[in-house]
Amino acid sequence: MSDVVRSRSRLDQPRERRRRLPQFDTDAFGRISERFAQFLGTGTFILLQTVIVIFWVSLNVFAVRLRWDPYPFILLNLAFSTQAAYAAPLILLAQNRQADRDRIALEEDRQRAQAAKADTEYLARELAALRIALGEVATREYLRSELGRVVEELREPELDGDLPRPAGESRRADRRLSTDSKRETDSRRARLTR
């Protein structure tokens, strides 16, 4: 009794199963069953089975000496039943393996879609930030309009009534000023030396 209590003392732990069946590679068995299920769905299998049934029925109807399965063809029905008994689970196994592959592919597609969505949202945020930043930067049109306004202000007469001189006149005036200033400095030097 103490063994029973001890083995059931931990209810949160599952019991260990004793395996009496031989171990085999379930993946290899699944691949074989998929190949068999694929073969069952081909025209070759249907044609081969039809030829066998016609041969079976022909021998049992027309060859009197070779009758191993008389008219109700019970042995043929048993062969079909055995084939169906094995084919159905193998087809279901192949479908389950395909459903597992589809589930994995769907999960991978979902993860890729989430990553693509996250990337798209990130790029959209970055693009919006660039648009906002470009809105604050002076554009070519803005600079042209401001330069045009400055040029117009320069062309307007000043409050004194003096108009700005054209560029060529300002250079001549600058030359005159520079020659006048040289004369003044020369005359000051001459006064000092006397």
Instruction: Name the token pair of 120.
Output: 């798209």
What is the per-residue pLDDT across 10-43, written as a single tens digit (0 to 9) for each? 777 777 777 677 777 888 888 888 888 888 888 9
- Highest mean pLDDT: which range of 65-74, 104-113, 128-137: 104-113
The whole-number pLDDT of residue 32 equals 87
Q: Above pLDDT 90, what percent of the chain? A: 25
Are 64 and 57 a contacting pair, CB within 8 Å?
Answer: no
Residue 57: closest CA among 68, 46, 42, 65: 68
Element (H, E) at 189: helix 167-193
What is the per-residue pLDDT across 100-123, written as a single tens digit (0 to 9) for each? 999 999 999 999 999 999 999 999
The whole-number pLDDT of residue 101 equals 92
The whole-number pLDDT of residue 170 equals 52
Rounded-to-integer distance, Cα 32 and Cα 89, Å = 13
For 75, residues 6+ apart whose C-beta sits below 8 A from its C-beta are 68, 69
Burial (CB < 10 A; 0-12, 13-18, 19+), residue 80, is middle
What is the per-residue pLDDT across 134-174, written as a single tens digit (0 to 9) for each? 777 777 787 888 888 898 888 876 554 555 555 555 555 55
Instruction: Name the token pair of 111.
Output: 């993860």
- Higher per-residue confidence, 101 vs 2: 101
Q: What is the pTM of this model?
A: 0.47
Are 76 and 58 a contacting pair, CB within 8 Å?
Answer: no
Q: How far is CA 84 from the centre of its chain?
A: 43
Within 10 Å of residue 94's Cβ, how many Cβ atoms? 21
pLDDT higher than threshold 80 for residue 97: yes
Torsions phi, psi for 67 (to 5 deg): -70, 100
- Higher per-residue confidence, 66 vs 117: 117
Element (H, E) at 152: helix 140-155
Within 10 Å of residue 140's Cβ, how many Cβ atoms? 7
Rounded-to-integer distance, Cα 109 and Cα 115, Å = 10
The whole-number pLDDT of residue 47 equals 95
Which of helix, strand or coil describes residue 66? coil
